[in-house]
Amino acid sequence: MEKQHYFITIVDKNIRRICEFSEIVEEKYDKNTLTGLNLAKTRDGYYTFGLVFDNKPKREEALKTAKSLNFKRITTKEENWAELITLAEMCIVGHFSYKMIK
Question: Within the chain, where are the H helices?
Answer: 15-28, 56-68, 81-87, 98-101
pLDDT tens profile 46-84: 999 999 999 999 999 999 999 999 999 999 988 887 788
Q: Are 25 and 60 in contact (CB under 8 A)?
A: no
Beta bridge partners of 48: 11, 40
pLDDT score, position 32: 83
Q: What is the pTM of this model?
A: 0.85
Q: Are 79 and 9 in contact (CB under 8 A)?
A: yes
What residue ranges define each of the domains in the chain, with the CATH number in brackets?
A: 6-101 (3.30.70.260)
Which amino acid is located at 24 in the chain? I
